[in-house]
Amino acid sequence: MLVRIIGAVLLTLGLTLGSLVVMTWGFRWRASHRAVAQRSTLTIPEADAALWAPLPVAMILGGLGGPPTLYAPLSGRPCAIWEITVYQWNRVENRYDARPVWSRHEIGALEVPFTRTRHLRISQHQRTIHSTSESGIFRPTGAIALQTGFIFAHRSQLAPMTTSYLTRLQGAGIPQQLADTIAAERGVYGVKESYLAPGDRIWGEQMAEKFLLGPVAEESGCQLTALLAGSILAALIGYQLLL
């Protein structure tokens, strides 16, 4: 009897906590997207001639807009940028090597709506900022490069290679020689997919001939993830005790 009471309590607690975590995630997602829309900003820096260091033509912070122009190779998700990385299992150290054996990314058309414009004036002794309500859509020009430290908003777990994944990697441009090597010993390879989709927050610098896509601070969801895992575990234990 006591066991069944404990099981019922754990099951109820797990389901309740799980529901609260999911609701919290939903509220945070909506709040973050509203915040991105409110602070989508185009910054135009200007400097005195005495400052010889090259400045960006413009800097943009905001959420990706427009329709997706690409599809992530493994998941098929619509996106604006995707990256595929293949790793090899290290039998000696019993883990995947940190250095990938192959990686490729593709960048489609990018556009970032902005709701305000800041004019940043830099001199040797001070800097001033003048903000206006000028809005529009920013579209990068020139080659687009990912800066060191750039983090994709959507990242899959490193997954063991499968025949289906290998077929999709061949469609994504993996060299045939490497594909043959992987096919011969598929169990020692893993693959990971990352992508950016419309609505994801980005930051970048438009230089004279290229656009540098930089890292954006992410909101930590580790605590919510841990709570959700705990709630699922509690619910499962409670269910087993009720059987």
Share of the chain above pLDDT 70, in %: 72
Interatomic CA distance for residues 223 and 46, integer angstroms: 42
Average pLDDT over residues 16-23: 60
Average pLDDT over residues 200-213: 92
- Mean pLDDT to the nearest integer, 38-44: 81
Closest C-alpha among 81, 62, 42 to residue 199: 62
Helix axis angle, 222-242 to 2-38, nearest 10°:
160
Residue 23 has pLDDT above 50, yes or no: yes
The whole-number pLDDT of residue 49 equals 59
Q: Which two tokens stand for residue 125?
A: 């002794």
- pTM over 0.85, yes/no: no
- Name the pLDDT band for 116 (thresholds 50, 70, 90): very high
Which has the higher per-residue pLDDT, 51 or 78? Answer: 78
Handedness of CA 172, 176, 181, 186 (dihedral sign): positive
Domain map (residue ranges) of the chain: 2-242
Residue 94: its pLDDT value, please?
87
Q: What is the token pair recorded at 36?
A: 């991105």
Spatial distance between the Cα atoms of 157 and 41, rounded to a whole number of angstroms: 32
Distances (CA, A) of 35 to 28, 41, 55, 203, 238: 10, 12, 27, 14, 39
For residues 160-181, give the mean pLDDT.
Answer: 95
pLDDT of residue 121: 85
* Mean pLDDT score, 193-204: 93
pLDDT above 70 for 100: yes
Segment 88-97 long-range contacts (CB within 8 Å, at least 24 positions apart): 88/188, 88/189, 88/190, 89/187, 89/188, 89/189, 89/190, 91/188, 96/158, 96/190
Longest dimension (CA), the chain: 83
